[in-house]
Amino acid sequence: MTFPYYASAEQIMRDRSELARKGIARGRSVIAVTYRDGVLFVAHNPSNTLRKISEIYDRIGFAAVGKYNEFESLRKAGIQLADLRGYSYDRADVTGLSLASAYANTLGNVFTEQAKPFEVELCVAEVGRVGTDQPSQLYRIGYDGSILDEQSFLVMGGATEPIVTAMKDAYRTGLTLEEALTASARALAAPKEGDAAGDAAATMLPVAEIEAAVLDRTRPRRAFKRLTDQRVAELLTKD
């Protein structure tokens, strides 16, 4: 007589969490950091075509780590939702919180109802408008639908601990774009545990492996702007 396979709900959730965490950790990291004039995204990404950073709406940006096909489908769905809401109601009704909540609901449903969770972690950022005291906001959405908000910086993917430590040492309120980019490029190149010892402050990712974009609060409507390799090199040289 054979017995059917059984696993407790708790064990199933643990297995799904482990699968998702391992998939996310295998990817290269992304940093989102607020600076004096908005939000800066910096990703360790050698590819020239597969982007981790994108515009979602007028003053809202998106960054992701994990499986490209999974977060790309989520990115497109977010753009469609934002366009529909802005067209049906008002552009002001499209907010970073509403999009982050929609992503959290989707990922939470996938995590609990489907056999395999999405191996992704997302960031939705919204920049405040110039001339207002509205702060820029960062929302981190986990593979299980959890959502956290930050107003300084967040790190996703890869070995996050040394990167978070480096960013804590470098971050302060009111960073310029040059300072924020330099701190992020150095943090992404921070030596991992077990690597040969070295001066982390003296190392920096090569420009060719940096994908960077900003949400610039001084721009009148569409705040998102990609930084070319030439512009990244100029900013890093200024430091």
pLDDT tens-digit readout, 42-87: 999 999 899 999 999 999 999 999 999 999 999 999 999 999 999 9
The b/e string for 10-27 (b: 16+ C-beta within 10 A; e otherwise) is eeeeeebeeebbebbbeb
Q: Which helix (H) or strand (E) holds 96?
A: helix 96-113
Measured CA distances, 222 to 34, 75, 159, 216, 233 (Å): 17, 17, 33, 9, 24
Q: Give me 15's structure tokens.
A: 């297995």
- CA-CA distance, 6 to 29, in Å (whole number)? 37
Say if 212 falls within a structural domain: yes
Say if 13 falls within a structural domain: yes
Say if 201 falls within a structural domain: yes
Residue 132's pLDDT is: 72
Say if 4 falls within a structural domain: no
Residue 65: which residues within 8 A CB-CB, separation 6 or more?
Answer: 24, 27, 28, 29, 30, 52, 71, 120, 121, 156, 157, 158
Measured CA distances, 98 to 4, 94, 107, 108, 217 (Å): 43, 7, 14, 15, 20
Say if 223 falls within a structural domain: yes
Residue 37's pLDDT is: 92
Residue 53: which residues within 8 A CB-CB, separation 6 or more?
Answer: 30, 41, 43, 61, 62, 63, 211, 212, 213, 226
Say if 2 falls within a structural domain: no
Say if 151 falls within a structural domain: yes
Tell me: the pLDDT tens digits for 92-115? Answer: 899 999 999 999 999 999 999 998
Q: Taking CA 237 as the corner, what is the angle to CA 167 and CA 42, rounded to the nearest 5 degrees?
A: 40
91 in Cβ contact with 120 (< 8 Å): no
- CA-CA distance, 126 to 106, in Å (whole number)? 20
Residue 233's pLDDT is: 95
Where are the extended beta strands (E) located within the chain?
30-35, 38-44, 53-57, 60-66, 120-126, 137-141, 147-150, 153-156, 210-216, 224-227
HSE-up (13 A, CA, CB side) for residue 132? 9
Residue 133: which residues within 8 A CB-CB, separation 6 or more?
Answer: none
Residue 187's pLDDT is: 95
Q: Which domain holds residue 123?
A: 9-238
Q: How many structural domains are present in the chain?
A: 1
- Fill in the DSSP letter of residue 121: E
The domain that holds 47 is classified in CATH as 3.60.20.10
pTM (2 d.p.)? 0.90
List for the chain the helix, strand, coil content (%; round to 5): 40, 25, 35
Say if 188 falls within a structural domain: yes
Tell me: the pLDDT tens digits for 32-46? Answer: 999 999 999 999 999
